[in-house]
Every structure is written in C-alpha cells, then in structure tokens.
C-alpha cells in the first residue's frame, strides 16, 4: 500500500508562516501591521492606545482565521503567531504584549494547551519584569475533552471566538483590567463546544495525514490538532451527528425555556457551507424545541484545523451584559460587527522600544575547573551532533507523534535544534559550556512554541547552571549536566515519572549517569550510560498510559506506542555520545 501524501500551495515549509503574515498585512493594511523584531506580533493599526487595557490573543498557525484574523479595533490589539499547531514563543508573545500595552495592563487569551500555557506563562513573567501587569485566561470550552468536574483540564477550540469577542469589547469600552479579566472569565464559563472530524489534516513540513481514519469513519469529539475524541464511529447523518454534539452541550449548559444563546457553527477547513447550514438547521430545531432563543448565529470557518474535514458547534449562554459585549462594534479581517468604530477623541499611543535588552555575561575562565575531556569546543560539537541526529530522525519522531499526539514533534524539535545550531555558529569561540547552554536555551525557546520549547529552554538553563563552575566537564560534571536537564524539565513542565512524557527518558538517563559516575567510570562512559538509560526509558513508555498533554485523552489507546518526547531524548543523548572524543 503506497504512502498517502497531501498537496499544498506553498513555497517552502520553513517560510510558510512569515509569508502568510506578510500576505495578511498586505491584504488588510488598513487594519494590520507587524511590530517587533521577530515578525510574529500582528498588531491592530487603530487598536492599542494609552489608558486602554490591551488584549493579546495567540496560538499556533493552521487555525486561520484564528488568531491574527481577530486583530482589529474593538477586538484584539495584537496576536502572537506561532508555527503550525505550535504555540508562539515567549518572545513573540512579549512583543505582542508590548504592542498592546497602554499602561492599563494586558489580558492574554489562548486555548488551554500545554505549550500555550507554558509559553504564555513565561511571557507573563518577562512582561512583569518590564512593568506590564498581565492577566491570563485559558479558554476551556471543549466538553468532549474532560468531564464537567475537571473543566479546568479542557482544551480550547472554537469557543475562543466568543471569549475573544467579549474581552475585546470590554477593553474597547474602557473597562479596567480587573473588569476585562472578569468579563473574559464569565464568557469562558458560559461557553461550551463540541466537534467532529471526518478526515485528517497534514503539516506543511511532512505532507502526510497526521492521523489515520477510515473512509467511512468519523471521530466524535476530535480536537483542533488531530487529538483523539471520545469515540470513533461510522459516518452518520448531519442530524444525528448534531444531535450527539448538542446532547453533551445542552446536558451541561442546561438552559431553561426563555433563555438566550449565541451559536457558532464552525467548519474545520474542508467542510463546505452547505454542510454547515445543515448543522445550523438542526441546532435551531433543537433549541426551538427546548424553548431557547437564538440571539445571533455565526456559520462559517472561524477556527480551522488546516484542511481537516469536520465541524464544531459552540453555544454561549447569554445575559444582558454578555449580549452587550457581543453586540459592541468591531472590525477585523475575520469579523465585523456593527458599524466601524469611531475614533476615540484625543487618543494617543506611546512609542514602543522593542530593542532587545542585551546582556553581556563575562566569565573569568581562569577561575573555572578545567579537569575533564569535554572542553567547550567538544561540547559544542556534541550539541551539533544532536541537532544533526534530530534532523535525520524528524520524520520518524513526527510519525510517532501522529499516533498519540498531533504529528509535529519531530518537526518542532528539528526547528528548535536547527536554531540551536545556528546560534552556536554565531557564538564567540570563547564561550564556556554554561554560556553555550544559555544561548541554546534562548534559541530553542525563540524558535519553538510547542511545549518542547519552554521545556528544553528550562532544561538547558538548568543544566548550564549545574556546570557553571566548570571550564571542562569530567565524569561528575557530565552527570550533573544530564541531571540538570532533567531538573529544568521537571521545574517547568509539571509532569511526573510514569506520565508517558520525555521525563520517562530523562530520569533514567540521569540515574544511569549518576550510577556510572559512582562506579568510577569516566565522562564518556557516564554519557554512554545516560544514552542507554534514555533508550530503556523510552521503550518503557510503550506500556504506559498517557497522563499528560494532548495524548492524555487517548487513555488506554495510548498503550503500545512509544512517547515521541522520550524517543527524541534518546536520539539527543545517543548523538552526543557518538560525538564524544575517543
């Protein structure tokens, strides 16, 4: 059976996001512009202003028109644009926050995914250092992704639409930071969604479907990145599918006769309006039979998943305040409500300074411990070997991720490691191992918005600090470096051993490295032991049930598959071992 490949109109996969942003701005110059050094902060031409709460939205690309399509007067002031299905980096988000900041604080709005939470949290910490008061609201509307008693674990899907609109209106009306945050949280609590997928989508870098589904099958409760839903079944009628989605939504929302709702029927990328209107027809019938009034409906593509076929239904239960926010005028590329908002008399905007706050760390090399065969030059060669190995293995790693995740792990790891390689090539030759780790952390974080970005940034920073007193690494320092990588991931991610994550490879790697050091082995043997420990740990994830990340929803279906993050850990350590000097 031949392998399935998809087709996309693009120039180069690595250029698809910056070229998309360029095209958006050229199409809507009266509404959008790009600010900052990264080119990933899309800003409203007439949105940010002094004295107004800033609204920053964001997430991975591939969901167009979300997220940058909702930037404009009366809605979002700026969007941080990540790579396909990957969160924007803290640097992207920080630049969007600087653009949106009017001195009254900023609200971050994004879907509740591990990568987004980690990156937006790190950006909020950096913004606090700049004096920007940030509040964060993670959208949790997908009823299929967790039960009501665990609503905080739910992912955000098309419900972003209503939460963004409410928060943007509240800010445009001049409400305070506390009031805007409260409005966003109120909308979040009142919004519920559920979706169904009929086909897979594909990443630009792989041109392969990111999951397998039969020609006559559908996935009920599918996530926006190809995450598994509640169950797989044969394709049913539009009415029956809509009935199932509405049954879960209304079962939790429990609207009473006379209540009002707004409705969003959203296409996932390859579903025509003909089918979406069939869903809208049935939604209206169900609500009418329940005595619930539809205040307003939106039908079309508002939050997609590349070229996935399927749809979602979102309801927000309304009161007078939420209706007022939804009715407030806005003008963006993807949504216009009411007449174009009038200019605010006397509005000003303070100039922004996006210049990086460069920090030149100086180190007295003479004060560092020089015992050991791993010199800074050797260490850089080891990292470059890891980057080359990830590039060779990226397709295999993405295929592993396609089974239990969203199919992009190999791609995002390759992006991060190639950024590390470029940073090391540009770094001064006299950099110490600790300085090399700091540069690797920043490069990985700036390049990768998926959860692996902040996790590996934390790992490199922690590992660098663990050997900051060393010029060269001996056996003990080599073990300390591996252990430092584990410590950094544990400190940032929140996962634990047994959760079926990269930790299940890094922990046995660190334990094996320490055991080899205690046995009197040299630095090369310590690193080899770490690689062997990572391999054993990665293989052990095959029998684990996932308890973290996007594969958590799979439950028992995740058993039998190696975790891609654990597999990439072994690739990294094995490549570093192979580059060790004989």
Residue that has been written with the tokens 């992006």 in this structure: 415
549 has pLDDT over 70: no
Q: List the structure tokens of 474.
A: 């001996």
Q: Which residues contact 387 (CB under 8 A, 6 or more apart)?
A: 417, 418, 420, 421
402 has pLDDT over 80: no
What is the dihedral angle through the alpha carbons of 61, 66, 71, 74, rounded to the nearest 10 degrees?
-160
Residue 114: its H or E element: helix 114-129
The pLDDT, as a whole number, for residue 451 is: 80
| Residue length of the chain | 582
C-alpha 486/C-alpha 491 separation (Å) is 9
pLDDT confidence bin for 494, thresholds 50/70/90: confident
Note the pLDDT tens digit of each residue in 92-105. Answer: 999 999 999 999 99
Q: Which residues lie across from 264 on neighbouring strands?
A: 298, 314
Strand-strand pairing, 54-61 and 41-44: unpaired
404 has pLDDT over 90: no
Q: Which residues lie across from 41 on neighbouring strands?
A: 35, 80
Which of 96-105, 141-150, 469-478, 554-563 comes out lowest in average pLDDT? Answer: 554-563
The pLDDT, as a whole number, for residue 550 is: 53
pLDDT confidence bin for 359, thresholds 50/70/90: very low
Query: Rounded mean pLDDT of 557-562?
Result: 78
Which of 370-374, 390-394, 551-555 comes out lowest in average pLDDT? Answer: 551-555
C-alpha 445/C-alpha 452 separation (Å) is 8
Distance from the Cα of residue 199 to its chain's centroid = 22
Distance from the Cα of residue 234 to its chain's centroid = 31
553 has pLDDT over 60: no
Alpha carbons within 13 A on the beta-carbon side of 487: 12
Q: List the structure tokens of 424.
A: 């090391």
Query: Rounded mean pLDDT of 374-403?
Result: 94
128 has pLDDT over 80: yes
For residue 127, which of 71, 74, 54 has the smallest C-alpha distance?
Answer: 54
465 has pLDDT over 80: yes
> What distances in angstroms separate CA 445 from CA 423, 461, 478, 495, 569, one per listed residue?
12, 11, 23, 19, 17
The pLDDT, as a whole number, for residue 490 is: 92
> What distances in angstroms separate CA 140 from CA 147, 161, 493, one per listed residue?
11, 12, 19
Q: Collapsing DSSP states into helix, strand and coil, what is residue 32? A: strand
281 has pLDDT over 50: yes
Residue 136: its H or E element: strand 134-139
Q: Which residues contact 392 (CB under 8 A, 6 or more apart)?
A: none
Whether residue 163 contacts residue 112, with contact meaning beta carbons closer than 8 Å, is answered with no
Query: Rounded mean pLDDT of 131-155?
Result: 96
Exposure of 238 by Cβ count < 10 A (0-12 exposed, 13-18 middle, 19+ buried)? middle
Query: Rounded mean pLDDT of 10-14?
Result: 95
For residue 100, which of 74, 78, 79 has the smallest C-alpha distance?
Answer: 78
Catalytic residue among 28, 92, 225, 561: 225
Instruction: Give the CA radius of gyration of the chain.
Output: 24
For residue 569, which of 512, 516, 491 has the smallest C-alpha distance?
Answer: 512
The answer to whether the bond into 108 is cis (omega within 30° of 0) is no
C-alpha 453/C-alpha 464 separation (Å) is 16
C-alpha 311/C-alpha 158 separation (Å) is 10
Query: Rounded mean pLDDT of 515-531?
Result: 97
Exposure of 74 by Cβ count < 10 A (0-12 exposed, 13-18 middle, 19+ buried)? buried
The pLDDT, as a whole number, for residue 536 is: 97
Q: Terminal CA-to-CA distance of the chain, rounded, Å?
A: 44
Which of 28-42, 156-170, 429-443, 556-570 comes out lowest in average pLDDT? Answer: 556-570
C-alpha 453/C-alpha 116 separation (Å) is 10
How many other CB atoms are there within 10 angstroms of residue 176's CB atom? 13
Residue that has been written with the tokens 């073990």 in this structure: 479
408 has pLDDT over 80: no
Query: Rounded mean pLDDT of 297-307?
Result: 97
pLDDT confidence bin for 212, thresholds 50/70/90: confident
- Using a pLDDT cut of 90, give the percent of the chain over it: 80
C-alpha 28/C-alpha 79 separation (Å) is 15
360 has pLDDT over 50: no
362 has pLDDT over 70: no
For residue 225, which of 308, 118, 316, 330 has the smallest C-alpha distance?
Answer: 308
Query: Rounded mean pLDDT of 547-572?
Result: 78
C-alpha 515/C-alpha 530 separation (Å) is 9
Q: Collapsing DSSP states into helix, strand and coil, what is residue 502? A: coil
179 has pLDDT over 90: yes
Residue that has been written with the tokens 């199932």 in this structure: 244
pLDDT confidence bin for 545, thresholds 50/70/90: confident
332 has pLDDT over 90: yes
pLDDT confidence bin for 449, thresholds 50/70/90: low
The pLDDT, as a whole number, for residue 382 is: 98
pLDDT confidence bin for 358, thresholds 50/70/90: very low
The pLDDT, as a whole number, for residue 228 is: 75
pTM score > 0.75 for this model?
yes
Query: Rounded mean pLDDT of 122-132?
Result: 93
Query: Rounded mean pLDDT of 477-488?
Result: 97
The pLDDT, as a whole number, for residue 552 is: 59
Whether residue 53 contacts residue 107, with contact meaning beta carbons closer than 8 Å, is answered with yes
Domains along the chain? 13-177 (3.40.50.10440), 195-312 (3.30.1180.20), 365-578 (1.25.40.340)
Q: List the structure tokens of 67.
A: 């997220």
> What distances in angstroms separate CA 95 from CA 31, 89, 296, 397, one per listed residue?
18, 10, 35, 31
The pLDDT, as a whole number, for residue 1 is: 37
Q: Collapsing DSSP states into helix, strand and coil, what is residue 513? A: helix
The answer to whether the bond into 262 is cis (omega within 30° of 0) is no
C-alpha 71/C-alpha 94 separation (Å) is 16
Strand-strand pairing, 217-220 and 231-234: antiparallel
Distance from the Cα of residue 10 to its chain's centroid = 23
293 has pLDDT over 90: yes
63 is catalytic: no
Strand-strand pairing, 336-337 and 231-234: unpaired
Whether residue 189 contacts residue 394, with contact meaning beta carbons closer than 8 Å, is answered with no
- Using a pLDDT cut of 70, give the percent of the chain over it: 95
Whether residue 349 contacts residue 454, with contact meaning beta carbons closer than 8 Å, is answered with no
């Amino acid at each position: 059976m031949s392998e399935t490949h998809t087709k996309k109109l693009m120039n180069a996969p690595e250029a698809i996001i910056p070229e998309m942003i360029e095209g958006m701005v050229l199409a809507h110059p009266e509404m959008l512009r790009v600010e900052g050094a990264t080119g990933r902060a899309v800003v409203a031409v007439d949105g940010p202003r002094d004295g107004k709460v800033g609204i920053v939205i964001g997430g991975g690309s591939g969901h167009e028109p979300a997220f940058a399509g909702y930037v404009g007067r009366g809605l979002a002031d700026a969007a941080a644009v990540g790579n396909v299905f990957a969160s924007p980096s803290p640097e992207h988000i920080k630049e969007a926050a600087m653009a949106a900041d009017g001195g009254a604080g900023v609200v971050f709005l994004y879907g509740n995914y591990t990568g987004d939470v980690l990156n937006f949290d790190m950006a909020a910490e950096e913004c606090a250092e700049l004096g920007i008061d940030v509040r964060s609201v993670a959208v949790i509307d997908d009823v299929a992704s967790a039960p009501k008693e665990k609503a905080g674990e739910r992912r955000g899907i098309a419900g972003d639409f209503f939460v963004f609109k409410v928060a943007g209106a509240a800010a445009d009306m001049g409400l305070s930071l506390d009031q805007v945050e409260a409005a966003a949280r109120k909308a979040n609590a009142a919004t519920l969604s559920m979706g169904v997928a009929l086909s897979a989508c594909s990443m630009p870098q792989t041109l392969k479907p990111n999951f397998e589904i039969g020609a006559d099958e559908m996935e009920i409760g599918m996530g926006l990145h190809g995450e598994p839903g509640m169950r797989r079944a044969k394709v049913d009628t539009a009415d029956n599918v809509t009935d199932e989605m509405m049954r879960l939504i209304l079962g939790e929302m429990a609207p009473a006769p006379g209540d009002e709702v707004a409705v969003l029927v959203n296409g996932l990328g390859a579903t025509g309006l003909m089918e979406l209107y069939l869903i809208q027809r049935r939604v209206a019938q169900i609500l009418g039979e329940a005595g619930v009034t539809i205040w307003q409906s939106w039908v079309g593509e508002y939050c997609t998943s590349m070229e996935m076929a399927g749809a979602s239904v979102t309801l927000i239960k309304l009161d007078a305040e939420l209706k007022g926010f939804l009715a407030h005028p806005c003008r963006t590329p993807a949504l216009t409500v009411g007449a174009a908002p009038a200019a605010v008399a006397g509005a000003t905007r303070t100039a922004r300074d996006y210049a990086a706050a460069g920090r030149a760390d100086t180190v007295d090399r003479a004060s560092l411990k020089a015992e050991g065969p791993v010199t800074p030059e050797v260490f850089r060669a080891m990292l470059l070997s890891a980057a080359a190995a990830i590039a060779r293995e990226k397709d295999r790693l993405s295929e592993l991720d396609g089974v239990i995740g969203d199919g992009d792990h190999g791609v995002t790891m390759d992006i991060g490691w190639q950024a590390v390689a470029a940073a090391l090539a540009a770094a001064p030759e006299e950099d110490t191992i600790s300085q090399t780790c700091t540069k690797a952390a920043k490069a990985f974080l700036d390049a990768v918005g998926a959860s692996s970005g902040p996790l590996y940034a934390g790992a490199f920073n922690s590992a660098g600090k663990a050997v900051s007193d060393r010029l060269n690494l001996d056996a003990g320092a080599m073990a300390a470096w591996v252990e430092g990588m584990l410590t950094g991931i544990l400190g940032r991610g929140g996962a634990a051993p047994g959760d079926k994550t990269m930790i299940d490879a890094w922990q046995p790697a660190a334990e094996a490295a320490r055991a080899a050091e205690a046995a009197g082995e040299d630095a090369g043997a310590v690193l080899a032991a770490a690689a062997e420990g990572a391999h054993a740990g990665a293989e052990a994830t095959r029998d684990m049930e996932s308890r973290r990340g996007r594969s958590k929803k799979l439950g028992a279906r995740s058993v039998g598959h190696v975790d891609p993050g654990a597999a990439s850990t072994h690739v990294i350590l094995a490549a570093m071992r192979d580059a060790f000097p004989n």
